[in-house]
Amino acid sequence: MANAASSSISQTELLAIPLHLVLPLPCSESECLGINREHILCHASSYAFLVLIANIEEYAPIVYTPTVGLVCQNYSGLFRRPRGMYFSAEDRGEMMSMVYNWPAEQVDMIVVTDGSRILGLGDLGVQGIGIAIGKLDLYVAAAGINPQRVLPVMIDVGTNNEKLLNDPLYLGLQEHRLDGEEYLAVIDEFMEAVFTRWPHVIVQFEDFQSKWAFKLLQRYRNMYRMFNDDVQGTAGVAIAGLLGAVRAQGRPMIDFPKMKIVVAGAGSAGIGVLNAARKTMARMLGDTDIAFESAGSQFWVVDANGLITEGREKIDPDALPFARKIKEANRQGLREGASLVEVVRQVKPDVLLGLSAVGGLFTKEVLEALKDSTSTRPAVFAMSNPTKNAECTPDEAFSIVGDSTIFASGSPFKDVDLGNGHIGHCNQGNNMYLFPGIGLGTLLSGSRIISDGMLQAAAECLAAYMTDKEVLEGIIFPSISSIRDITKQVAAAVIKEAIEEDLAEGYREMDARELRKLSHEDIESYVENNMWSPEYPVLVYKED
């Protein structure tokens, strides 16, 4: 692989060029074997991906969280050119023809958002397309999806952000968001259009508000090849982290159903994690109705109004399965609406899991209550993004709860020096560990849908990636620098599960029958051979 710095363009210049390709490159590789600056610029974006892949741990926070949040907040003022497709409410009835405006004959991966809940920053309207662009850059870097076969999409149905509605520079529709059947009609038309032109494309839904995230997932998941990263990807990474926390106590993953978990946050991410964790526990307990009911008793869910019990009025239907019975809560010394610190103090959980998007929610009082946990190594998962929305910092967790704490976060933090040569490891539970492998595995398997089993296989593969020595040291997520190898293994696990569930239909020359003949090692080789890599000869100046 060539070092981009050996050409006449610096790494800094390359990274300043937008990574996402929206058009075919102006000249073929065979025409770009020259050494002048103009020819190098023809492939500058591919060289930029080369730099990103080679330095993924350093540059991922620039391409994605936390930098992407700041970019989205200021996107209208930064806009220079379209870097994806925009479908608006005013395009109703025209989307089927609009999709043919995109120049790529084949698209493998679409990331779509309506901008209604960007990270923990709220409704950013059309400016949220930055999320779709960043995610697809990671698909290219981590999963080796060809950059000319990805498509960022913004569905503009208005915004309820009053600041944007009154901003003369705002690029989107300056009207309040569509709702109800009108909203669904727009999304329905979009989905029908893209799958008509590209029947084998995979669509990842990103940063839709909780109100719609679950409804759209249930509406489309058995019809199209799609998934919601906030609901399912976040859940998978959290499950992998929770299984890692079990291993960090020196226990087998099968002990996961014994974990007591307090969850702060009942939005799309929180409920997604709860549903996935409950299914994982139930499967470990025998996958029966009784097992599923038993698994539900391991969770205590706290939202902005406190502990959720069956005594709450107008309870969110998605949260209802996790509402504690009133008598059960009373026996625990708790009541409807009990505060987070009260719940932690009474439950003494193994894990305190934050998916609230409320920065600093894990106060000193809450963390001190966790010190009485019945676990030998209590875990603090401050998973909200961006960094300012993290429920606590690693310094706070280690200094208050103790050196044996297992810490994970959604955004990157530096490890903590605990003194005496000991390090408090800050594990970043980044969705980047899973969504590239889920997408790549689905693509290469040719699976008709993305099943719960495929998502579960991805999470368990990630959880098993770390060695016993590493997890006992408190390292429950691998280094981002290994992301291509992680993605390869996750994709292989997804393909294997798709085959076992008889969902795989094959990809290109590898049909379903041939897929079934492959060993696990063969599947990994198959994945690796289908990952795009930007490899170029070293370019140097030759003086006459």
Dihedrals φ, ψ of 303, to 5°?
-115, -160
Would strands 299-303 and 510-511 be described as parallel, antiparallel, or unpaired? Answer: unpaired
452 assigned to a ligand binding site? no
Strand bridging mode 226-228 / 202-205? parallel
Cβ burial 370-397 (10 Å sphere, 16+ → b, else e): beebebebbbbbbbbbbbebbbbbbebb
Q: Which of 47, 59, 64, 139 is catalytic?
A: 64
Handedness of CA 188, 192, 198, 201 (dihedral sign): positive
CA distance 486 to 483: 5
How many whole angstroms separate alpha carbon 9 and alpha carbon 13? 6
117 is in an annotated binding site: yes
Determine if residue 430 is labeled as part of a ligand binding site.
yes
Find out whether 101 is annotated in a ligand binding site.
no
Question: Among 330, 329, 303, 299, which Cα is nearest to 314's?
Answer: 303
**Which residue is catalytic, options 47, 59, 75, 135?**
135
Tokens encoding 471 = 């997890």
d(CA 64, CA 328) in angstroms, rounded, equals 42
Tokens of 390: 């993290």
Torsion sign, CA atoms 493, 499, 504, 508: positive
Amino acid at 202: I
- For the four alpha carbons of 381, 386, 392 and 395, in that order, the dihedral sign comes to positive
Catalytic annotation on 258? no
Instruction: Give me the phi and psi of 118, to 5 degrees please.
Output: -85, 115
The reply to whether 64 belongs to the active site is yes
**CA pair distance 254, 227, nearest whole angstrom:** 27
Beta strands 506-507 and 510-511: pairing type? antiparallel
Which residues pair with residue 109 across a beta bridge? 150, 202
Cα angle 162-168-171, degrees, rounded to a multiple of 5: 85
The one-letter code for the residue type at 500 is E
What span, in angstroms and rounded, lies between the C-alpha atoms of 52 and 154?
Answer: 25
The DSSP 8-state label assigned to residue 311 in this structure reads T
Residue 167 CA: distances (Å) to CA of 83, 95, 155, 157, 159? 22, 27, 19, 17, 12
Q: How far is CA 198 from CA 42, 95, 228, in A?
A: 28, 14, 19
Residue 196: how many other CB atoms lie within 10 Å: 12
Question: Does the annotation flag 206 for ligand binding?
Answer: yes
**Amino acid, res. 485:** D
Binding site residue list for (S)-malate? 117, 385, 430
Q: Which residues are catalytic?
A: 64, 135
Binding site residue list? 117, 206-207, 230, 385, 430
Binding site residue list for a divalent metal cation? 206-207, 230
